[in-house]
Structure 1
């Protein structure tokens, strides 16, 4: 099997990497964190690269690229620990909107492709504990009432994709689109531990547009979350790759007893273990991306497997690299601490490691091993 990337994919990687290196260095990122965790200028930079239309169909003004292309982009954004919600706007939102009525597609997909609209998924609720089928938000007469938590850049978004219990469906989940200016909609923004921006979303008899009914709503929500997990796995690989490189450079420059500490055998063994965990995470990220096109049961199990491995890898790489740096590794002024914060936050998003370990276990059936 050929695992090499195509020339177009390598060109895409190079373009995103150059933008990250030039326009999203640590100094600028640090300033964005201090300013609230979202930069319109950085967002405009992503739009200028043409990345917003990556998975929007060509007939709607997009590029119509596939999952592997998205993985390439997310790895490079992970290397720069870019905080702006690219995966939400350019990968998850088009996944859902492509299944919406044609009129809704024609209204929103070209705007997403052109960077004119930021649409995010608002699905998480306080009592759900990552379970996608536990939704307290209700739809009555085309209006939604409820609350959503940890909505990415919720106070900056132009519209929200909101799961809710459909009226008369006996608890069936439908997906709705809510515009920013809708009556009864309120947002409360705050910064997360990794510096990114999120918001609480409150809906009180808020008018909404039906995207997908209760017959397909939960299945499409699961697909959207799986797309988000695959994107996050790729982002984590990029972040771990860069953090490992930063740590290796530190070991080869920091001196103790007159020699670089990278010459100490114990530290060489530890950085080798870090590299092994990085490569385990990379292989499972590839696995997750390639499984997005499978039938739902196999896809869901594969994405949970990948999230488990990436959770273990991210924690190990983050902890070991921080310890190998010593005291400087936990200071806010030094870049490695921000990689560790971002990896820690990613481990909790779209279901933490323990949640997905349970998902893998529930889907093992007659297999003997977790990753069999």
Structure 2
């Protein structure tokens, strides 16, 4: 199998890398985090590069690129520690809206593609424990032919900066997806540990547009797109944190020599590199499995999330320990990579949750990868 990237994909990677190098230094990111984590301006800059329309079909003003291009972009955004809700708004939302009626797509996809609308998924509930089927929010048909949504959603990415939410809610015994504009919801935003923002969002008979009536399959696919994006971002984060750590070890001296010469520490760095490569291979696996039928796709994405969860935790902890005290200081970039890796380990289901998902789907084999 050929894992080489095409010239167009390499050009896309270079374009994102140049933007990160020129316009998103660690100092800028640190300043945004200290100011509360607002990222709409950063997302607007990504939209100016055309990246907001990466996954939007060409018929609606986007580029219609595949999951591989999305993976390339997410890796570079991870390396640059870019704290913008790119995966949620530019990858997950278009994937969910692909199941919507043409009129809904025509109303929202062009605005997503040009960056004028920030639409994010609101599906997590307090008692759900990452289970997509655990939905207590409800949708009710309105006299005017529309719908209203009532319920509460937690940890909605960039919820207080979004223009609209795609909300999972029960209607007539099924889980449907509904689009609710932010003005119709009660939103309480707060900064997250990794320097971004999230929100608690409450809907009280909020006017809504139905995206899909039976939305369980669409919601599962949308979250799988999110998992693949998280995996790719994690690879970029680990790559860069490893490079930062090696650079530090080559300059930090103990007993008159660089600590990179100590054999025990070299062995630990070798273990870190191995975990990065294991994560990279499973990120590729996740991206390439997005086009598979749901049973195979869901198991593959959970397998990838298990490996990435383990790799991100190992790499983050080892690199911080190899730095010593400076590794946890707020002024040092390494600590922020560690925080982001820790947050990603819990995004779209933590490692323990996905280990259970893999186990539940191993009904006919004892081999995880069979």
Q: TM-score, normalised by structure 2?
A: 0.97
What is the match of residue 180 of structure 1? 182
**Cα separation, 2, equivalents of 1:115 and 1:213:** 27
What are the equivalent positions in structure 2 for 1:286-305 lying under 5 Å apart?
286-305=284-303
> In the TM superposition, what whole-angstrom CA distance separates every residue of 1:241-261 from its partner, at most 9, and x where no partner exists?
000000000111111111111
Matches within 5 A, 1:221-240: 221-240=219-238
1: CA distance, partners of 2:40 / 2:138: 33
Shift of 1:98: 1.6
1:144 corresponds to? 149
Q: CA deviation at 1:265?
A: 0.3
How far off is 1:366 after superposition? 2.3
| Structure 2 counterpart of 1:265 | 263
Match of 2:345 in 1: 347
2: CA distance between counterparts of 1:326 and 1:371?
37
- Residue of 308, 317, 320 corresponding to 1:319: 317
Aligned mate of 2:277, from 276, 279, 283: 279
Distance 2:125 2:297 in 1: 24
Cα distance in 2, alignment partners of residues 46 and 35 from structure 1 = 20
Out of 154, 157, 162, the position equivalent to 1:157 is 162
Gaps of 5+ in 2: 142-146
Task: Note if contact 2:39-2:196 (Cα within 8 Å) is conserved in structure 1.
Answer: no
What is the deviation of 1:180? 1.7
CA deviations over 1:14-34 (Å, ceiling 9, x no partner): 010111111111100000001
Does 1:2 find its partner at 2:8?
A: no
Aligned length: 365
Once residues 31 and 46 of structure 2 are traced to their aligned partners in structure 1, the CA distance between those partners, rounded to angstroms, is: 18
- Residue of structure 1 equivalent to 2:144: none
CA distance in 2, matches of 1:84, 1:39: 5
Please give the secondary structure, in 2, of the residue aligned with 1:291.
helix
Structure 1 stretches of 4+ moved >6 Å: none
Aligned counterparts of 1:75 and 1:233: Cα–Cα separation in 2: 9
Q: For the residues of structure 1 that align with 2:44 and 2:216, how far apart are their CA atoms?
A: 33
CA RMSD of aligned residues (A): 0.8
Provide TM-score, normalisation by structure 1. 0.97
Q: Is the 8 A contact 2:40 2:161 kept in 1?
A: no
